[in-house]
Structure 1
Amino acid sequence: MQNARHYCWILAGLLAACSNNDDDDDFIGNWIERSELAGKPRSEAVAFVINDTAYVGTGFDGTDYRRDFWKYANNGGWITQIAELPAAAAARSSAVAFVIDNIAYVGTGFDRYNELNDFWAYSPATGQWVEKARLVDPNPSIDLSRKDAVSFVLKGKGYIACGNDGGALKDVWMYDPAADKWTSKNTFGGAKRTDAVAFVIGERAYICTGTNNSELKNDMWEYNPDTDIWTEKRKISDATDEDFDNDYDVPRSGAVGFVLNNKGYVATGTKGGLSLQTWEYNAVDDTWTRRTDFEGPARTAAVAFVLGGKAYVCAGRTSSLPLDDLYQFDPLAAYDEND
């Protein structure tokens, strides 16, 4: 992938230059390139973490939809391939994944022809995938199949929200692993959207970014699972408070979201062009701070995971070229242009 990487760097510089004129020395945080994904380059994959191991799989490699998964160990690099999604599960991109009690759940997505509603559970103890309840409405005439949704876990329950079934969505569903059952929850408080990000800080979930009708969304919402209520937070651009969001430039689609040290992060994605910007969210005072720009090729449709107090951004695509590189982010480290 060396030649492809050189191409990506050139293209990333052209696309990201207009929105990244500030010197990286002005920001805190450092990105370091790590070993490439052991499998094929891909975009719109999923990633999840169980104990000290991350897993990356599914996605679209530019030609084929994928069903393979690969393990990445903290300080150990890429280890090996695990069991693929079984033959009964379509190869897919644009799915969601979450982990409850050391079991990973992967579902929904797109198989080239259709949006999907099936879910599959993976246990490292058995090394096998088992089919779970599909995301279905009690009314069988309502199809909940979708792609490009977001997911999160709160208090031992999995959630899926928003996405795209030919048009943007805003419904919310909760999965109970003990009952193997989906339950409808209060509709997402903001506008319908697809290609958004979600992350959890403490006992609250947050959804922001994404797009609907080609318009980037600039609202952000907090979810309380105890009350099933969505509460709007400050806008992430377009000033409503001159002391805060007048300086923000967070809206985008196809970004990654992750949490480190009780702070939320949004990085990469597209907003007219591919973006390198990294933003940090402080839930205590509901403010955003810009951190060091992503130091790999600008991209969209990547995945992110957290291991050992560091975040990792992997794969995605630059223009139409799928990627297989991996970058580690330390939000507390000083920027080092030579590492």
Structure 2
Amino acid sequence: MNRSLLMIAGLAAIGFSCGKNNDTTEFGDWTRKSDFEGVARGGAASFVIGTKAYVATGLNSNSERLSDMWEYDSQLNTWTQKANFPGVARALGSGFAANNKGYVGLGQNANNQYLKDFYSYDPTANKWTKIADYMGSARSGSVSFVINNKGYVGTGYDGNYVNDIYSYDPAADAWTKETSYAGVKRRGAVSMVINNVAYVGTGENNGSSQRDWWVYDPATKVWTQKLDFTSDQSTIARRNASTFVIGNIGYLLMGEGGDSFVWSYDPATDIWTKVQDISTGSWKVKPSIRSLAVSFSINNIGYITTGGSSTRYDDIYAFDPSKKRVVAE
């Protein structure tokens, strides 16, 4: 039995039938929060420090590159503009946080030139500092994640699709070559860190959206293939999607070529589960389907903001997976 059929069988085995008429339980509820106060944009970089998220750079509705940065306080539900990103304005860069500092770099400038500079942000001083340039080629559309206070940045597009990965050690201000991503080269992939290993997949290679899924263990420096992100749906493969992690479960949604479902991934079972259909009309509020959005989690709540489809967005929504409803079929 192939991997896709195994996954479908797993979904059937755990299907959420719950009572009369095979009613279905959908998990997760959305709450609209205070709108992002910067201009609407896609392709921004972001990071989270404590209970605050930071959104920087990006591409506005006029295709202009941006250099402003905004802080979202999840406890107060407020936005505050912070010191502008000091590098050239850009979109499709990468961001991560380690040791209570944020890091932003890479991307494309207004002339569509690829960039490799990186900067750190100190939220206490509200100050940016230039750090060592990225060790790999200048690029955009890279994936990033953090494990044990080291940032990992790789894949993307530098004029060609690439799959190399480099880690950044803030203490040494130095980049180190890591084991290259084991799937096909790509840009616009997503990542999740669960139990100190990183899961990376989806994205685009040579015009084709991808749905393979791999896990990287920094202790062994080995990539291992997991079940594809797939099901009986025809719109699973996607690029520039959104993810967040709540507890030990990862969530993936939206993106170019994506569907209207929120999907969960359980690394303990290596199974993807459809937990919610955003397109259904009975939710009080729900985010529009979008790509190149910013997504993150704080205190067991997932967030998605900015991004776009036919237009750019400046709204923000919070996802609580503990809430549920029953849908009659």
TM-score, normalising length: structure 2: 0.86
Question: Could you say what secondary structure the match of 2:287 adopts?
Answer: coil
2:56 touches 2:85 (CA, 8 Å); kept in 1? no
CA contact (8 A) 2:202 2:212 kept: yes
Quote the Cα distance in structure 2 between the aligned partners of 1:163 and 1:334: 37
Structure 1 counterpart of 2:260: 276
CA distance in 2, matches of 1:224, 1:184: 15
Partner residue in 2 for 1:67: 67
The equivalent of 2:169 in structure 1 is: 176
Alpha carbons 2:118, 2:130 under 8 Å: kept: yes
TM-score normalised by structure 1 residue count = 0.83
1:38 corresponds in structure 2 to: 37
Give secondary structure in 1 for the equivalent of 2:90. coil
Alignment of 1:225 with 2:229, yes or no, is no
- Runs in 1 of length 4+ with deviation above 6 angstroms? none
1:161 aligns with 2:154: yes
CA contact (8 A) 2:118 2:133 kept: yes
**Aligned match of 1:315:** 306
Provide the residue aligned with 1:96 in structure 2.
94
For residues 209 and 58 of structure 1, the distance between their equivalents in structure 2, rounded to whole angstroms, comes to: 23
- Deviation per CA, 1:208-236: give whole Å up to 9, x if none: 11010111112110001011100001122
Closer, same or farther: CA 250–202 of 1 in aligned 2, 3 Å: farther
Matched ranges for 1:318-333 at <5 A: 318-319=309-310, 321-333=311-323
* Structure 1, gaps ≥5 residues long: 1-23, 138-143, 238-244
Note the C-alpha offset of 1:151.
0.3
Deviations 1:33-81 (A, max 9, x none): 2121011000011221111111112100122211111111123122310
Contact kept, 8 Å, 2:135 with 2:176, in 1: the verdict is no
- Residue 136 of structure 1: how far off its partner (Å): 2.7
Q: 1:43 to 1:305 in 2, by over 3 A?
A: same
Identical amino acids, percent of aligned pairs: 35
Q: Is the 2:51–2:75 Cα contact (8 Å) retained in structure 1?
A: no
Residue 213 of structure 1 corresponds to 206
1:260 aligns with 2:246: yes
2:145 to 152, 166, 186: 152
Deviation at 1:25, TM superposition (A): 6.1
- Aligned alpha-carbon RMSD (Å): 1.8
User: Bigger shift: 247-256 or 92-101?
Assistant: 247-256
**Aligned residue number for residue 57 of structure 2:** 58
| CA distance in 2 between partners of 1:282 and 1:323 (Å) | 30
Q: Within 5 Å, which residues of 2 pair with 1:233-312? A: 233-237=226-230, 245=231, 250-271=236-257, 275-294=259-278, 295-312=286-303
Contact 2:135–2:166 at 8 Å: present in 1 too? no
